[in-house]
């Protein structure tokens, strides 16, 4: 048994499984975020409550719950442990034990993980998101484009381990966005700032 990797997986998952969107909206008196808009616990749906501060808080905390395990376990036991903790955090966000394994779509948590694993690749992907958001005004299209860019950038940089890691993150996020992809293809996906 590899104790560091087991610890990375377990602690990463538990960190990722904290449903900040749900906790913050309840604390702000906004009700259960799962009954609003898409029913998702992430920052995009929190923004549909009209409370930008709570949405920003959700975005930040969801990113940090992915980034902190990566940074901590990389410092403690090396890159492999850090990347494993990141994948586990993403799975915790998507499948939180506290919410009967019905969680978020993983974009903010995935962004935090990627920034912690490689800040410059994370930054480039963030710029891709911003560019796509300005062009399309569609959050999901922007997020999916940035996700797909991550493993490509890592591979072009010659970092195969990070490219494989980013590919796993991307595939999880793409899978969670299956409904969004169908709406994008149908031209019915809502734009940023509009209700679902």
Report the percent of the chain where pLDDT is more than 90: 90
pLDDT single digits (tens) 25-43? 999 999 999 998 888 999 9
Say if residue 196's pLDDT is above 60. no
pLDDT single digits (tens) 5-23? 999 999 999 999 999 999 9
CB atoms within 10 A of CB 57: 20
What pLDDT does residue 176 have? 95
Which band of pLDDT confidence, cut at 50, 70 and 90, is reported for residue 1? low
Q: CA 179 to CA 184: how far, in whole Å?
A: 9
What pLDDT does residue 190 have? 84
pLDDT single digits (tens) 66-119? 999 999 999 999 999 999 999 999 999 999 999 999 999 999 999 999 999 999
What pLDDT does residue 2 have? 87
Q: CA 36 to CA 106: how far, in whole Å?
A: 18
Say if residue 195's pLDDT is above 70. no
Say if residue 191's pLDDT is above 60. yes
The mean pLDDT of the chain is: 94
Say if residue 151's pLDDT is above 70. yes
Listing DSSP states for the chain in one string gives --HHHHHHHHHHHHHHT--HHHHHHHHTT---GGGSTT---SHHHHHTTT-HHHHHHHHHHHHHHHHHHHHHHHHHH-HHHHHHHHHHHHHHHHS-GGGTT-----HHHHHHHHHHH-HHHHHHHHHHHHHHHHHH--HHHHHHHHHHHHHHHHHHTT-HHHHHHHHHHHHHHHHHTHHHHHHHHHT-PPPTTS--
Mean pLDDT, residues 147-161: 97
Say if residue 58's pLDDT is above 60. yes
Which band of pLDDT confidence, cut at 50, 70 and 90, is reported for residue 139? confident
SS (H, E, C) 81-92: HHHHHHHHHHHH
Mean pLDDT, residues 149-163: 97
């Amino acid at each position: 048994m590899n104790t560091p990797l087991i610890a990375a997986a377990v602690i990463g998952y538990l960190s990722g499984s904290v449903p900040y969107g749900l906790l913050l909206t309840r604390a702000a008196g906004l009700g259960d975020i799962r009954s609003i808009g898409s029913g998702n616990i992430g920052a995009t749906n929190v923004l549909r409550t009209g409370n930008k501060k709570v949405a920003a808080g959700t975005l930040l905390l969801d990113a940090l719950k992915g980034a902190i395990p990566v940074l901590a376990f990389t410092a403690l036991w090396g890159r492999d442990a850090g990347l494993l903790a990141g994948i586990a955090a993403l799975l915790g966000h998507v499948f939180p034990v506290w919410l009967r394994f019905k969680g978020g779509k993983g974009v903010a948590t995935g962004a935090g993980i990627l920034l912690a694993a490689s800040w410059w690749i994370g930054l480039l992907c963030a710029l891709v998101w911003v560019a796509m958001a300005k062009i399309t005004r569609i959050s999901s299209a922007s997020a999916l484009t940035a996700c797909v860019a991550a493993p490509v950038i890592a591979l072009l940089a010659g970092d195969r381990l990070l490219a494989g890691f980013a590919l796993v993150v991307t595939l999880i996020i793409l899978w969670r966005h299956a409904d969004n992809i169908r709406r994008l293809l149908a031209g019915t996906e809502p734009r940023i700032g509009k209700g679902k």
